Structure 1
């Protein structure tokens, strides 16, 4: 490792480095990862966190316990060799984010699918090989990257570089990798980032991932995005039901994926969550869930309806515990998984594995036979998996856009007219969302304009408007529109002749105006309001000119920065 010299970072205009504030050691690392953990199996203790890098990283005991259990496949999985998967768990209450000041900036610019939340992702590289020198007869260890960022494809690719080196060279390798990561520029969607790691250079943007094997080689690994899983590979065992699964995810229904391994479980859950993109899935989802999870009782109780959550499980115990759930997806060998007989079995035989969707749900939309035939034809013609994935992802995207466009159009109509914005009055309020008023718009401006699918679109919308996904989407749109109103109000203020206005003001009124304008300027900068270029400097100039009309003693007070 000491002979490997990672390429130095040479920031360019597109790399987002030059404008960064002064960074302390580990600030850059913390903007990508919270920490790296090594989880081993001890005969007396069971799973245990053996190493945490960097050493100063903080994890609560509850978080350590979650990482321990989630970093190992269930005993029935039989994962010999190397396997990769991911999990997700709640961040401890009261913890400050490891992303620090980068979090707000990142989240503001990120597309909805890459926004962070109050959860950590664990990206796992698990190795299990026979070893007669150990009492248990097996070497079992996981290298785990803990991050707030949902860059699934990127972090799995990063692990493929770090983990084999670690298993061969142990801790010095982790220290070197952490030092490399601490030299990376902070994440910035849309910008090209050069990321040296373990003698390899990665180039990453929000829309593609490029990993050059070495600086003098023409060989490259190109992955389509930093976060998307292969939809077709994940849905292949149940692709006759992809449209129904889209509806279930859209409506925030309780779903459980029962799979033979954590890799299949986590990929399928992530595929489900991403199938309604660009709409954000706003409920909880657990790519890999175990009986040791702190939310186990909460999610498996029979005293109330199952919550809006998607769980990925591998332990056969869940077949009994969750058999009352309304929608169950089974992937792989299901010999030992009993199913509630009241559910309708929708199943098929694929690659000798008995898989299916078990539900009594009746879809609102008629089945789209065309996409099924297109995918089946691709299988028969041995069309590359990447092409099948692209077809399926485009299908889901067009379906979601057809559904969301009428909502976008209606919500835009709730915005007050620009002429109603007065610089001397508070910005006007948005009109409230009226469900029946929206339903009436669907006859002339509904999804039938962009989608060939027939069915009960009205019923689907009514159900969606009661879902967490609608609530999350509308809250976000409402916030954006309120910020737009604030921006228009600021722009209207800048167009006014404030000097003329204050001639009619008393000294007290003028000071009050300055304080209010300074407050609006501070808030606008904090919220990154979508104002026209030059608006904020103009407002600052207006404030300065007004202050100059006041007596010197007041000028001195008003020029002082606000107390922290």
Structure 2
């Protein structure tokens, strides 16, 4: 979560599909802490060893040697960045294969959280606080550590105290306002819920009178300053949005890991409420274990957005189709200097100028009204948060205009509710037909909600080949399948099952009991949202039917209980 960026190189824990789900009353050590963070690391630079982990808290945190190596390299800005003083940035890397991590009500959290904020298996997120200051006692002249400012004065006792405080926090629950005490302050924050209106204003948090000191209210835990990230590419927003929507391979070259990580995360978030389903690395280095995988020239570049700072990557990524080269923000007159779209052939030297190096041509026209509004906002000194809100609203409406026809068509594939009966297996969802969908666009396409002109149909056809379509379709189909399971389960609960068994053979009755038990187990495991009391009613019905069988069959059924 974004809130963990206040800790020193703290990392949101990853997930594993095979992990056992912890509950909120878990007695496991650090159970509540692990619902927010995996661990906090202190990384230092040793003249003999290079980057090394000095301290991990909690001490029993399970990190593989490969994961520790990744944390060490990713926690330091590249030597070309020249980061002196305090720097904050973030990174993302794969967990080791086969690791058994910790989880804390993952199913319930992901069920209620927006898809863009759901926890995902297989990756760790790192949030770095890096400090580099002159120190004449060190041969290289710098004192480098990754840690929060308080740690400099109070060292490990401070870290232990903070981790113990986090272990007292309530677990993150979408839709609830939480008060989180840390280091004498109280952070009051609301984690967004799936039921929130997309693009709505963050809920206004009211401080509770009994809280002393008064809480620091965080209006959001996940939004970036989009205007700051895109200020030098405002006239090319359409290019960036389409490249992200289509899951194209993109390299973001920036002068610092801070800019690199923020721009990559801004790109990933610019297609919300659609989830970005390809890989992305806010900060990537040549020491990464996947460096060869991402830079091989024997195959097409993978669908990933990489954020880098080392100029070495200019040569390495010359075969990539889209490269965004950023520099320090420059002002031309009273406006930020806008980068240009250039041909990839011009990306040859280390002193390559900022620009978007690509041969990509957008399917849709740019929104000149939006660009003019944002540029005028700069001249009028409109606050950055207001500019970001305008930008975020535009991107949200653009993505919604694109996705609503898909959602509408997908809903038409759902079987009618009257076709769901207790005596048959749930009916099947109709398969997605690209051509059938395209035929709906004339009367129910994006033109109903968007003023942008262009080749919408061409954009959809390209989107169908992207990982984002595959991820969206799998998620929607899974949600629809669960909905069918709920409707079928409710139909079963309302049926006269006891009456049905009266003229049935013992074999048929036993088969019914076994199937109903399996359905109950599955419903509870998936936490299906069925009407109140339905599962308890079905459980009683199963017990009644089982009790009607001969004793020997009852004993056999008891032995086969899950």
| TM-score bracket for the superposition, by shorter chain length | 0.7 to 0.9
C-alpha distance in 1 between matches for 2:544 and 2:190:
43
The answer on whether the counterparts of 2:32 and 2:168 sit within 8 Å (CA) in structure 1 is yes
C-alpha distance in 1 between matches for 2:284 and 2:86:
20
1:84 aligns with 2:88: yes
TM-score (norm 1): 0.87
C-alpha distance in 2 between matches for 1:368 and 1:266:
26
> What residue in structure 2 maps to residue 363 of structure 1?
362
After the TM superposition, which residues 112-511 of structure 1 pair with which residues of structure 2 at under 5 Å, given as runs? 112-117=115-120, 118-143=122-147, 163-207=148-192, 215-217=211-213, 221-332=216-327, 342-343=343-344, 355-511=354-510
Deviation at 1:340, TM superposition (A): 12
Deviation at 1:301, TM superposition (A): 1.3
What runs of 5+ residues in structure 2 fail to find an aligned partner? 1-22, 193-201, 331-339
C-alpha distance in 1 between matches for 2:342 and 2:159:
50
> What residue in structure 2 maps to residue 47 of structure 1?
51
Q: 1:110 is matched with which residue: 91, 96, 113?
A: 113
> What residue in structure 1 maps to residue 333 of structure 2?
none
C-alpha distance in 1 between matches for 2:446 and 2:38:
43
1:75 match: secondary structure: coil
1:544 match: secondary structure: helix
Per the alignment, do residues 313 and 67 of structure 1 end up closer, same or farther by CA in structure 2, a change over 3 Å counting? same
What runs of 5+ residues in structure 1 fail to find an aligned partner? 1-18, 144-162, 347-352
The answer on whether the counterparts of 2:283 and 2:307 sit within 8 Å (CA) in structure 1 is yes
Deviation at 1:109, TM superposition (A): 2.0
C-alpha distance in 2 between matches for 1:469 and 1:70:
27
Q: What's the CA shift string for 1:436-469, capped at 9, x where partnerless?
A: 0110000000000010111000000000011000
How many pairs are equivalent?
515
The answer on whether the counterparts of 1:234 and 1:268 sit within 8 Å (CA) in structure 2 is yes
Per the alignment, do residues 486 and 510 of structure 1 end up closer, same or farther by CA in structure 2, a change over 3 Å counting? same
Q: Please, which moves more after superposition, 133-142 or 221-230?
A: 221-230
C-alpha distance in 1 between matches for 2:97 and 2:446:
41
C-alpha distance in 1 between matches for 2:220 and 2:370:
23
Deviation at 1:215, TM superposition (A): 4.9
1:77 match: secondary structure: coil
Deviation at 1:424, TM superposition (A): 1.4
Per the alignment, do residues 221 and 195 of structure 1 end up closer, same or farther by CA in structure 2, a change over 3 Å counting? closer
Q: What's the CA shift string for 1:413-444, capped at 9, x where partnerless?
A: 11111222221111111111111011000000
C-alpha distance in 2 between matches for 1:344 and 1:536:
64
The answer on whether the counterparts of 1:201 and 1:211 sit within 8 Å (CA) in structure 2 is no
The answer on whether the counterparts of 2:517 and 2:542 sit within 8 Å (CA) in structure 1 is yes
Deviation at 1:512, TM superposition (A): 1.3
C-alpha distance in 2 between matches for 1:93 and 1:492:
42
C-alpha distance in 2 between matches for 1:320 and 1:242:
26
Deviation at 1:72, TM superposition (A): 0.2
Q: What's the CA shift string for 1:133-171, capped at 9, x where partnerless?
A: 22221100113xxxxxxxxxxxxxxxxxxx111111111
C-alpha distance in 2 between matches for 1:331 and 1:276:
21
Deviation at 1:334, TM superposition (A): 11
C-alpha distance in 1 between matches for 2:274 and 2:117:
12
The answer on whether the counterparts of 2:342 and 2:358 sit within 8 Å (CA) in structure 1 is no
> What residue in structure 1 maps to residue 7 of structure 2?
none
> What residue in structure 1 maps to residue 10 of structure 2?
none
The answer on whether the counterparts of 1:237 and 1:355 sit within 8 Å (CA) in structure 2 is no
The answer on whether the counterparts of 2:32 and 2:171 sit within 8 Å (CA) in structure 1 is yes
The answer on whether the counterparts of 1:84 and 1:124 sit within 8 Å (CA) in structure 2 is yes
The answer on whether the counterparts of 2:185 and 2:216 sit within 8 Å (CA) in structure 1 is no
Q: Please, which moves more after superposition, 177-186 or 549-558?
A: 549-558
> What residue in structure 2 maps to residue 74 of structure 1?
78
C-alpha distance in 1 between matches for 2:423 and 2:284:
55
C-alpha distance in 2 between matches for 1:532 and 1:356:
55
Deviation at 1:260, TM superposition (A): 0.4
Per the alignment, do residues 221 and 259 of structure 1 end up closer, same or farther by CA in structure 2, a change over 3 Å counting? farther
1:27 match: secondary structure: coil
Q: What's the CA shift string for 1:261-309, capped at 9, x where partnerless?
A: 0000000000000000000000000000000011111111111111110
> What residue in structure 2 maps to residue 28 of structure 1?
32
C-alpha distance in 2 between matches for 1:334 and 1:342:
22
TM-score (norm 2): 0.87
Deviation at 1:376, TM superposition (A): 0.6
C-alpha distance in 2 between matches for 1:383 and 1:186:
37
Per the alignment, do residues 344 and 405 of structure 1 end up closer, same or farther by CA in structure 2, a change over 3 Å counting? farther
C-alpha distance in 2 between matches for 1:271 and 1:344:
27
C-alpha distance in 2 between matches for 1:484 and 1:211:
36
The answer on whether the counterparts of 1:275 and 1:393 sit within 8 Å (CA) in structure 2 is yes
C-alpha distance in 2 between matches for 1:274 and 1:249:
9
Deviation at 1:559, TM superposition (A): 4.9
> What residue in structure 2 maps to residue 60 of structure 1?
64
